[in-house]
Chains A and B, each alone.
Chain A
Amino acid sequence: MMDFGFVLSKSSTVDLNKVDLSMYRQLEKLSPDVRTCMACGSCSATCTAAPYSGMSVRKVILGLQRGNDVSAMLSNCMLCGKCTMVCPRGINTRNLILNLCRIHETGGRNDR
C-alpha cells in the first residue's frame, strides 16, 4: 500500500458488545447532569490535579461511556471545584466526582 504518512485506524475503538456501562449508568442516576456534558474540556484546562495524575473530568466521563477504568485519574483529585465553576453546561462536576468515588465502593469495583 502506498505510504501517505498516515493510516486509518480500525473502527473498533468502542465495541458496544463488550463494553460494560454499569458504572456510567449508576453515575447517571446520581448525577443526571452528566448527560449534558459536551466534552469541551474546560474542566481539564483548569484542573489542579491534571499535572499529577492526568485528571480530566472530560476524559473521565468519556472513559465511563466507553467502559474504561478511570480510578487512576481520580486518585489525585483535590475537590477544589474549579471544574464546576468553569463548566459551560453547569454540570456539578465536583459532586459528580464524589458520587463516582462512592460508586466504586458499592458497585463496579471489579469493572475491569
Chain B
Amino acid sequence: MTDRIASGFHPFVLPFLIGMAFVLSYCLFGMIRIILQLSKEDRRKFFMSLITPKILLKDVKDIFLNCLIHVKLWKRNPVLGYMHSSIAFGWFMLIVLGHIEVILFVPARAKLLYYPIFFNYFVSENETTLRGAVLFFLMDFFLLVVLSGIALAIIKRFRSRLFGMRRTTKPAALDLVGLYSLWAIFPLRLIAESLTADISGGSFLTLPSNWLAHLFMGHELYPLPAWWAYSIALCIFMCVLPFTRYMHIPAEMMLIPMRNAGLKIRNLNKGFAKVEVLSCPGCGVCIDACPMIASRSNVKDCTVYLNRQLRRGNDKRIDQISDKCLLCGKCQAVCQVGVQGPDLRVARRSTRGYGINQDYSNISATPLEKGHKVLYFSGCMSQLTPRIGKAVTAVMDKAGVDYEWMDRDGGLCCGRPILLAGRKEQARQLIAKNTELILASGADTLVVNCPICYRVFREEYNLPGVRVVHHSEFFAELVSKGMLSPQNGIGKICYHDPCELGRGCGVYDAPRELLSRCGTLVKAGHEKELSICCGGSLGSLSLNFSQREAITRNSYADLTVADPDVIATACPLCLSTYSRYADRPVMDIAEILMNQQ
C-alpha cells in the first residue's frame, strides 16, 4: 500500500475539514461553558469523579455500552437496538479501522485528520497482503453493518409501526436536513470507495461493485464527484449537528460522567439540566409511554417535546408542558438516555414567582402521645377514603401492633404536593414541622399508607432512628413473622402499581406477595415500571377533571384485561380515582388483608 497522491491532499477534503472544525470547536466551547455554569460544589464533584478510578471506569463502560452498543435499547426493542448500534458502533469501527490502516500503511500521514476518512482515495494497492485483506474485509463488513442500519432507519421513518412504535416524533425542519445527510453519508461512501476499488483495493462489497461500475461505465471511471459528494454530506451533517437532535451524540458522552458524578437538576437552562436536554435523541419512545396520550391532544406535551421547546426557548409552551404533566415518571423509566422529564418540569415550576408565599409558622401541631413503637401516618388523601385508615388500623390491631395514629383527626400535609408544584421553601417548612413531631414521639417505625407521602418521607425527610415503611411492606413483614395469616379466597386480583410507590420508590414485590396470599394474582396489560398512571396524580397542575377522565379510563381498561374480580392498589389517590369509573370493586391492600383474616 503506497501513497498515490504525492501532496497527500485534494480540495474535496475541505468540506469535511470545515464541518469537523466547526463541530469540534462548538462542542468544546459548549463543554467549557456548561462546566463553568455548574455551581462550585457541583464542579468539584464532577472533577473529583473524573479522577476517581472507580467512577471513571464506570463512565467509560457506560459510554461504551450506552452510546455505542445501546444496550438499554436492545433490551427494550431488539430491532431498534440493532438499528442504533449498527450505525453508532459500525461508524465508530470504521473510524478506528481507518486510523489503524493509516498507521500501518502510511505512518507519515498519521497527523492528517482527514486521511483515515478518505484513505481509499489517497492510496494504491501495489501488492495484496493478508494484513491488508483482513483490514479491507473488516472495513467493508462494518460499512455493510452501517448500511443495514441506515436501511432500517429509512424504513422506520415511513413505517414506524413495524418497529413497535405507535407514535413517533414529528421531526423539525433542521432535523430533517441532518437526517437526510446522515442517510446519504454511507451510500456515498460506498459509491466513492467502489469507484476507486480497482486502484486502492477493496473487499467483498467494494470490489464487486467496482466490477459492476466498469461493466456499465466502461474502462474509465470518474470517482471524484462521488468523493466530493461524500465529503459534502459529512460537512452538512456536522454543520447542522449542534442545532438538531443529533446533538445527543456528543451531549450524552458528557451526560454520563455528570450523572455518575451524582449531579442533580438545579437550574433549567444551565449546567447539568442543559446537558440532559441536549442529550434527548428525540426518538419519541416517551410518547407511547405517556399516560396522557389517552387523549390525542396531549401528544405534544410529552417529554420529547418539552426538550425540544427548552432548546428553542419557547417559554409559553415550556410552561404549558411543565404544568400539564402528571409526573408519573414513566417517560424516564423507558428513556434510553434517562432524561429526567419530571425533574425538569418541577425545576421549571420552581422558577415562578408568587405574590402570596405560604408560611406555616403560625401552626403549632399538638404533640403526639409518647411511648408507642409504631407511628401510623395516613396522609391527606386517605382522609377522603377513610375506609383505608380503618382497614390499616384493624389489621394492625389484629396483629397486635402497638401504634399511634398520627393524623387520625387530620394533620399537616407531608409536603410532597407543594413540592411537586415547585415550591420548595414551603415544602421545607412542612417537612420541618412533621420531622419535629415524629422525632419527639420517640417511635422507631413510621408506617405510611400513601405512596405520595411515603416518597417524600424517604427522599426529603431526615429521620434518624426512624424506619419509614409503606403499609404493604409492613404487612408483608407481619405475615412473614406469622403475626398475620390471611386466607386465600378473594378470587382474581389485579394489582395496580402506583407511580410513586413503583417507579418512585421501587416497591413492586411486597404488595404482590401480600396479594398472592389473599387471592390469585392476574397480570395487567402493563406492570411494574411500565404501569400506567391512574390520572389522578397531584403532579399535574393544569389537567382538569374532565381531561383526566380519558386517562383514567385508559389505565383502568389496562387493569381489566385478565378480567379480575377485584382491582387492588396501594394508594388512596389511585383508589378514589379508579372508583369513579370502575365496574368492579377497587380496594386497598389493607382492606383486602382485613377481609381475608
Interface residues of A (CB under 8 A from B): 33, 46, 48, 51-53, 71, 74-82, 84-87, 90-92, 94-95, 98, 100-106, 109
Contacts and interface: CB of A to CB of B under 8 A. Distances in A.
7 contacts: A48-B410, A52-B363, A71-B356, A75-B356, A81-B417, A87-B545, A90-B545
A74 B541 CA distance: 17
B353 A82 contact: no
B354 A85 contact: no
B380 A79 contact: no
* Residue of B358, B383, B410, B426 with most partner-chain A CB within 10 A: B358
B544 interface: yes
B378 to A, nearest CB: 12
Contacts of B355: 71, 101-106, 109
Contacts of A87: 545
Nearest to A87: B545
Contacts of B381: 80, 82, 85
B356 A76 contact: no
B180 interface: no
A74 B384 contact: no
Sorted nearest first, the 6 A-B pairs with minimum C-beta distance are A104-B355, A90-B545, A105-B355, A78-B413, A80-B380, A101-B356
Given A75-B359, A90-B544, A102 B383 contact: no
B144 interface: no
Contacts of A52: 360, 362-363
A78 B358 contact: yes
B383 A74 contact: no
A94 B420 CA distance: 12
Contacts of A90: 544-546
Given A48-B410, A106-B355, A76 B541 contact: no
B195 to A, nearest CB: 64
Contacts of B490: none
Given A76-B363, A85-B384, A92-B543, 10 more contacts: A75-B358, A76-B359, A78-B417, A80-B417, A84-B545, A85-B573, A85-B576, A95-B542, A101-B354, A106-B355
* Residue of A77, A79, A82, A90 with most partner-chain B CB within 10 A: A79
Contacts of A98: 354, 421, 541
Contacts of A48: 380, 410-413
B312 interface: no
Q: Give the interface residue-count category, chain B.
A: 35 or more
Contacts of B544: 33, 90-92, 95
A48 B423 CA distance: 17
A90 B549 CA distance: 11
B353 A105 contact: yes
B104 to A, nearest CB: 66
B229 interface: no
B383 A79 contact: no
Contacts of B354: 98, 101-102, 104-105
A83 B423 CA distance: 19
* Residue of A81, A84, A87, A90 with most partner-chain B CB within 10 A: A81
Contacts of B538: 80-81, 94
A53 B542 CA distance: 25
B16 to A, nearest CB: 52
A76 B360 contact: yes
A13 B576 CA distance: 39
Contacts of A100: 356
Interface string B534-561: 0010100111111000000000000000
A87 B536 CA distance: 14
B352 interface: yes
Nearest to A77: B358
B566 interface: no
Interface string B404-423: 00000011110101100101
B430 interface: yes
A40 to B, nearest CB: 15
Contacts of B384: 46, 82, 85-86
Contacts of B421: 79, 94, 98
A92 B380 CA distance: 17
Contacts of B411: 48
A51 B362 CA distance: 11
A72 to B, nearest CB: 9
Nearest to B573: A85
Contacts of A78: 358, 360, 380, 412-413, 415, 417-418, 426, 430
Contacts of B541: 94-95, 98
B386 to A, nearest CB: 12
Contacts of B415: 78
A10 to B, nearest CB: 32
Nearest to A104: B355
A104 B576 CA distance: 33
A92 B412 contact: no
A94 B384 CA distance: 16
Interface string B356-382: 111110110000000000000000110
A76 B545 contact: no
A76 B353 contact: no
* Residue of A80, A86, A105 with most partner-chain B CB within 10 A: A80
A79 B356 contact: no
B363 A79 contact: no
Contacts of B358: 74-78, 101
Nearest to B379: A80
